[in-house]
Amino acid sequence: MSILWYASGFSGMSEREEKSRLFDATDSLVSSDALVLFGATGDLVHKKIFPALYALAKRGILSKPVVGVARQPWSLLQFQQRAEDGIKSSCKIDDRQALIHFLSLLRYVEGDYNDPGVYLAIKQVLADSRRPAHYLAIPPALFATVIKGLGESGLADNARVIVEKPFGRDLASARELNNIAKSVFPEESIFRIDHYLGKEAIMNILYFRFANSFLEPIWNRNCVASVQITLAENFGVESRGEFYESAGCLRDVIQNHLFQIVALLAMEPPAYRGYEAVHIEKAKVFKAMRPLQPEDIVRGQYVGYRDEQRVAKDSDVETFCSLRLFIDSWRWAGVPWYLRSGKFLAATAAEVLIQLKPPPQKLFADSAPENGRANYLRFQLSPRFVIALAARVKRIGKEFVGEQHELDLLYKQSEEDMPYARLLADAMAGYSVLYTRADAIEAAWAVVEPVLKYHESVIPYYPGSWGPEKSDTLIAADGGWFNPKLE
């Protein structure tokens, strides 16, 4: 079966058009008739999910009950106020009617996920709903409890489950979680979320690579010297100290968000038109990644992290991580991939640099690499959407000297990008193309597995820096880090 390319969210289609397009894709998909939000009073729901649902309400494609579940003994009114507050703090309320409509869809159930009573209460509130989608915006340690609770109470019947990342905390726990989820839900009803896959700029990587023909001849070990990806944030762990203590940067963003970007950059062309083919090629990339060794990674911790709330005074958890990765495939043999991410760095930005090799002969005195970088391709994913190709051109004059200029193929302020709106709409419609598959997640864990336990202690770094100096040493042989361009 060939699944058509399709992405919901901000496609601008009406609900009817969207449904008919979806049913074009496969006629067996039936929409969920309620959304149950576990972890409804948490940060993620406040910051990302309420604004996303409001965006869907504005587009007229949210008409089903949204049931919040959490431990707090809140009234429905309190829950509605919290929702409104979440929306206001992330976007402008420019459609009062849509807001009122969204708030009217909210329900609230209080309870402990270990208590079977909570699932009965959800059932009562769901009333006539027969095909709910359960979204687990809860600490990973509770995923299994809730999935089992859903199964035992009958709430999993005809239902879907959307599981937040990190999916597991190592290979064994990811496998176990996959087994538990599959013992309760059929695979096509399990949606493992990585919100990066719903981002406009990330989807553009896939499009840019395979909608153009000029890249393919250079997109390999013959022309690419190295690849580097930076995901930097200029703020700390904020109120998420407890979560961070159980995760750290490698588990929080590298094994998932950054690896997904690597997979899109490194994959072979999909063999046919359809996202299933993309999943197949991405999984192969994870399988070809060489498992990391302690000397491939640098772990840092910002000065002040140990004073954050719910953080151990002697914590060895990394808030910064950089690493060197190899993909042992025909295309990428010998090409190092450098990834880095961290909290409290010098900027908030995400950028990819494909560093091309210098010309084989140094015909001009100012040629790379002695005189700066060789040509490169740069994708800024945030705060702007940029795709730029850097090439040297001669300066006017007698001398054969020049400089490197960037040709902007795309240069835009990033627009309101709500990956969660796209992803939740897709999951409720049963459309899983932008979700990650079990085999890919397990293969990605296998890559980081060796360094989860065996690694050097964290190295302190100052907030506002680019992490520990040792991270610069890691990439020194390949021209050093390229800090995201923000001007």
398 annotated as belonging to a binding site for a ligand: no
Kindly state the smallest distance separating residue 381's Cβ from ligand BG6, in Å.
Answer: 8
| Residue number, 45 or 225, with CB nearest to ligand BG6 | 45
Cα angle for residues 36, 7, 66 (degrees, 5° grid): 15
Cα separation of 163 and 65, whole Å? 19
Kindly state the smallest distance separating residue 66's Cβ from ligand BG6, in Å.
Answer: 22
- For helices 76-90 and 96-105, the axis angle rounded to 10 degrees is 140
The answer to whether the CB of 236 falls within 8 A of the CB of 304 is: yes
Kindly state the smallest distance separating residue 408's Cβ from ligand BG6, in Å.
Answer: 22
Which of these is catalytic: 257, 279, 405, 455? 257
The answer to whether the CB of 319 falls within 8 A of the CB of 237 is: yes
Cα separation of 375 and 47, whole Å? 39
CA-only gyration radius of the chain, Å: 23
Kindly state the smallest distance separating residue 73's Cβ from ligand BG6, in Å.
Answer: 27
| Residue number, 74 or 320, with CB nearest to ligand BG6 | 320
The answer to whether the CB of 84 falls within 8 A of the CB of 100 is: no
| Residue number, 230 or 375, with CB nearest to ligand BG6 | 230
- For helices 438-453 and 171-184, the axis angle rounded to 10 degrees is 150
Ranked by CB distance to ligand BG6, the top (closest) residue is 252
487 annotated as belonging to a binding site for a ligand: no
Kindly state the smallest distance separating residue 99's Cβ from ligand BG6, in Å.
Answer: 23
Kindly state the smallest distance separating residue 366's Cβ from ligand BG6, in Å.
Answer: 37
- Could you tell me the two tokens for 155? 């709430």
Say which amino acid occupies 225. Answer: A
Q: Could you tell me the strand order of the sheet in which 384-394 lies?
A: 402-413, 384-394, 376-382, 349-356, 224-232, 336-342, 320-326, 297-302, 459-461
Cα separation of 25 and 337, whole Å? 36
| Residue number, 33 or 252, with CB nearest to ligand BG6 | 252
- Could you tell me the two tokens for 291? 């498992």
In terms of Cβ atoms closer than 10 Å to its own Cβ (0-12, 13-18, 19+), residue 101 is middle
| Residue number, 99 or 321, with CB nearest to ligand BG6 | 321
48 annotated as belonging to a binding site for a ligand: no
195 annotated as belonging to a binding site for a ligand: yes
Establish whether 101 is a catalytic residue: no
What does the binding site for ligand BG6 look like in residue numbers (CB under 6 A)?
Answer: 233, 252-253
252 annotated as belonging to a binding site for a ligand: yes
Cα separation of 104 and 66, whole Å? 9
Kindly state the smallest distance separating residue 240's Cβ from ligand BG6, in Å.
Answer: 7
| Residue number, 79 or 243, with CB nearest to ligand BG6 | 243
290 annotated as belonging to a binding site for a ligand: no
Cα separation of 398 and 411, whole Å? 33
- Could you tell me the two tokens for 370? 């002695």
- Classify 49 as helix, strand or coil: helix
46 annotated as belonging to a binding site for a ligand: no
DSSP 195: G
| Residue number, 348 or 404, with CB nearest to ligand BG6 | 348
Instruction: Please report, in range form, the residues annotated as the binding site for substrate.
Output: 195, 199, 233, 252, 343
- Binding-site residues for NADP(+): 71, 165
Name the residues annotated as catalytic: 257
Report the binding-site residues.
71, 165, 195, 199, 233, 252, 343
